[in-house]
Amino acid sequence: RLNLSMLQRLAAYLRRPAAAPLVAAVRCVSSGSVDITAPLNFWAGKRRTSQEKRDKENVYEPATGRVLCQLEPCGAVEVNQAVEAAKSAFGHWSKLSGMERARIMIEAAHIIEVRREEIAEMEVVNNGKSITEARLDVDSARLCIEYYAGMACTLAGQHVQLPGGSFAYTRREPLGVCVGIGAWNYPFQIAAWKSAPALACGNSMVFKPSPVTPVTAVLLAELYTQAGAPEGLFNVVQGSQETGSLLCHHPDVAKVSFTGSVPTGKKIMEMASKGVKPVTLELGGKSPLLIFKDCDVENAVKGALMANFLSQGQVCSNATRVFVQRDILPEFMEEVVRRTQAIEIGDPLLESTRMGALVSQPHLERVLSFVDQAKKEGATVLCGGEPFIPSDPKLRGGYYMTPCVLGNCTDEMTCVKEEIFGPVMSVLSFESEEEVLRRANDTSLGLAAGVFTSDVRRAHRVVEHLKAGSCFINNYNITPVEVPFGGFKMSGIGRENGQVTIEYYSQLKTVFVEMGDVDSLF
């Protein structure tokens, strides 16, 4: 009866129409109109306030520069309560069958689909990216939960026949309470990417968003609860370095998954090592895009734009080192500059906007400083790289800049060597395949890389030699949830998405079964 009910729900889910297309929707909010007063911490099934008096931190709306809400950071007491709630939920959740867990996860995905526009709008208000991109992020979160709901039913071990009728088998078991620490560029999506495989494997999670973008992770916590998850299965604690340290050092935490910068990733790895806890680290990148003269130039230009200007350039996998074979450099540069200048900047909640605001004023100043440094080092600003002030008076305090293309770049320049994390494309020329591969791999990072060419043999040959975890041929920044994502070298450890991620949220137990007498040496 229970299985029939599950199958009926699954069948009904599959018969539902697809998510609404990316067309103009009726706005529920507008930039500058939102004030958030509800608590942003969540554990044991509801929003929580701190029991101790702490200084609150302002959270800003990037589009306007106004204060959106105040963040109440969690200390040791709150972290302990959240972890205890997760431990309690784990006891129940880990004993459910994969089908039982899948039913709740599919319901959560359905709620996300229904509330897609609301979640996307709040993501825009808190992060500054365009509503068009925010909708795609919400879709990615939903698809990830759906994907791992399907995986939950497939978790299985192995049977090994041994001599004399004895045998062994393996069990794939959950780890326990997992910690997820998110970044500010994809707040809702990252929370889903970390929680979905964890929950599918039978774990519970305590998630800490970036203090810059704390708003939407708590929406995910609420909808998991609404979907029928046990109270405490997915919890949200807000805070900065102190809160993260408390989570990493907590004796009841079994694993830490972090997305963010290389320096912070190193600290998290060190803290987790004190308890010999496994970590998944998705860190920074300074990825190369190799554009050969035999490519489709129009596609290569579009790929370079996608590789640099999504989310205002605030994407870890961005290919900010664009290597163009000298023969087609003038043609490529003319078109990429023309299209970059045509990018519409402004209110991220407008359908026509393609580039919203950077996440904060300090980050905007940091990105602009890289452009200034590039000019001092001899690069040519072909377009953009300046503060942008929208005509709408309510947006004039926002954190906007014009997308920038830098020419005459060399490998030694700061803009080519360091991760800028903003809408700044550095273009370099090359002559030969051997030369560009050597230069592309000359970095301590290895998150992603791409190649544009019409020669299929060259494409696969080049990808084989690129030292990066996620490689693209004739496209860029495509991240289907069915495919593993992660880096080589200092860009991280482990993977997110795809089947392999199950291995990072579970542990293997081997069981030996003797069917005869013990053959003892004593």
Catalytic machinery residues: 282
One-letter identity of residue 180: G
Q: Residues 317, 321, 325, 326: what is their CA dihedral angle, to the nearest 10 degrees?
A: 160
Give the integer Cα–Cα distance in Å for 42 and 20: 29
**Contact call for residues 322 and 428 (beta carbons, < 8 A):** yes
Cross-strand partners of 279: 256
Phi/psi of residue 190, nearest 5 degrees = -65, -40
Give the integer Cα–Cα distance in Å for 468 and 158: 32
Q: What is the DSSP letter of 295?
A: S
Say how far residue 58 (Cα) sits from the centre of its chain.
Answer: 24
Phi/psi of residue 374, nearest 5 degrees = -60, -40
Spell out the residues 6+ positions from residue 229 whose beta carbon is closer than 8 angstroms to its own: 89, 93, 104, 108, 199
Cα maximum dimension of the chain:
88
Token pair 């051997």: residue: 434
Instruction: Kindly provide the residue ranges of all beta strands, DSSP E only, lying in 218-278, ordered along the sequence.
Output: 234-236, 253-259
State both tokens at 176.
Answer: 């326990």
Spell out the residues 6+ positions from residue 459 whose beta carbon is closer than 8 angstroms to its own: 451, 453, 473, 474
State both tokens at 394.
Answer: 């309510």
